[in-house]
């Protein structure tokens, strides 16, 4: 999805996307495994920042390989990066081999049915056409079974004829330090990798890059960490924030102790309060469950050196914030509040909303004014 880059001042919310931070995050991750290549995962519209901008910036920083989820994302990436290797994690849709090959997009084949279809396409083409092989080592989502992978590896001529360039798997629990499945997946993938000696091996996602050196292999596939999100639970996040979401205060109102705020009367004011109503809501991708109730506090926001809590439910277009005690010259109509960014980590908001930073970033809506800082590596 392409978003217009507008400079108008009519939006209720605005996104500032720091492309220099994106490039710096890629370099930090690449340095974790200097013997491996560091790719860039740009699916989900570049985790919400705009796929074309993500590809352009990461390519200028040094990335030569990109991973997308869907064919349309691959076409968009190819338009920006004509020389890059672009892999399609979603695999081969039925009978779309010719279209992928024409665009130089490499499907990562995750079933024997897909492999059979790709082989037939390569035979019809008269030569191998580059692709990848996905092996399931414990995720139970996409990928060949271990036995299927072993059987395929036993026929090297077949692997060469189908144009395979990489073999990948995906870590299920690397974001949870010490999880036993991670070690098991690394062991299984090490065996599979040894059966495909001519192919690059790729296992490490963001959490694998940062916390599992044994998972690095030949090609790193960081995603969320590139965009500033927390990849591993319970540790300090070393990545620079890339996205700052701000919302405009459209009204300041006074509330009395004992009155309630918002839909469902879920939160009662404990004192005379100043309430800032801001022009962002769940229609913009700011999750409803980030709101506050009498039973549980919601997310916080930041305004010119002051933190302030959400109060009441998040509405479709509006959020209420308790700005009692913040100077009126700061908490005023027309001021901008940071919903997440350098002062309020996106993952903190996600935790309050009982979700993850991935969902907040990839769900950012169409109504924001977007601006970009830096870029080109």
Active site residues: 43, 263
List, in sequence order, every beta strand (DSSP E) within the chain.
13-18, 37-38, 40-41, 65-68, 85-88, 105-109, 131-134, 164-168, 200-202, 219-220, 243-255, 260-261, 267-268, 273-278, 300-303, 306-309, 319-322, 336-340, 369-373
Sign of torsion over alpha carbons 236, 25, 221, 166: negative
150 labelled binding-site residue: no
DSSP state for residue 309 in the 8-state scheme: E
> What are the backbone dihedrals phi and psi of residue 278, each rounded to the nearest 5 degrees, phi first?
-115, 150
- Distance from the Cα of residue 311 to its chain's centroid: 28
Determine the Cα–Cα distance for residues 332 and 326; give it in Å rounded to an integer. Answer: 10
Handedness of CA 101, 104, 110, 115 (dihedral sign): positive
Residue keyed to tokens 């507008």? 6
Tokens of 218: 């030949």
The rounded radius of gyration (Å) of the Cα atoms in the chain is 23
- 27 marked as part of a ligand binding site: no
The annotation places the binding site for substrate at 141, 316
The annotation places the binding site at 141, 316
């Amino acid at each position: 999805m392409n978003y217009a880059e507008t400079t108008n001042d009519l939006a209720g919310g605005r996104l500032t996307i720091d492309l220099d931070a994106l490039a710096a995050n890629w370099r930090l991750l690449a340095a974790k495994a200097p013997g491996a290549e560091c790719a860039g995962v740009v699916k989900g519209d570049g985790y919400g920042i705009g796929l074309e901008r993500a590809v352009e910036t990461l390519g200028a920083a040094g990335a030569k390989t990109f991973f997308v989820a869907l064919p349309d994302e691959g076409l968009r990436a190819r338009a920006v990066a004509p020389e890059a290797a672009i892999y399609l994690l979603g695999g081969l849709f039925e009978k779309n081999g010719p279209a992928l090959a024409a665009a130089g997009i490499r499907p990562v084949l995750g079933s024997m049915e897909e492999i059979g279809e790709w082989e037939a396409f390569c035979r019809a083409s008269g030569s191998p056409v580059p692709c990848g092989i996905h092996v399931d080592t414990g995720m139970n989502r996409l990928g060949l079974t271990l036995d299927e992978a072993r059987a395929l590896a036993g026929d090297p001529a077949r692997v060469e004829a189908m144009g395979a360039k990489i073999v990948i798997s995906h870590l299920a629990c690397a974001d949870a330090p010490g999880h036993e499945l991670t070690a098991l997946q690394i062991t299984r993938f090490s065996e599979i990798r040894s059966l495909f000696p001519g192919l690059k091996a790729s296992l490490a996602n963001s959490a694998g890059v940062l916390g599992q050196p044994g998972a690095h292999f030949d090609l790193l596939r960081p995603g969320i960490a590139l965009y500033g999100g927390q990849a591993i639970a319970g540790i300090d996040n070393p990545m620079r924030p890339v996205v700052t979401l701000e919302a405009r205060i459209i009204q300041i109102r006074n509330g009395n102790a004992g009155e309630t705020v918002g839909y469902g009367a879920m939160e009662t004011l404990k004192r005379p309060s100043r309430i800032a109503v801001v022009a962002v809501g769940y229609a913009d991708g700011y999750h409803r469950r980030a709101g506050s109730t009498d039973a549980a506090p919601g997310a916080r926001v930041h305004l010119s050196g002051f933190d302030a809590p959400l109060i009441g439910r998040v509405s479709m277009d509006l959020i209420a914030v308790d700005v009692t005690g913040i100077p009126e010259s700061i908490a005023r109509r027309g001021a901008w509040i940071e919903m997440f960014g350098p002062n309020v980590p996106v993952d903190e908001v996600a935790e309050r909303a009982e979700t993850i930073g991935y969902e907040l970033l990839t769900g950012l809506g169409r109504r924001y004014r977007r601006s970009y800082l830096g870029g080109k590596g």
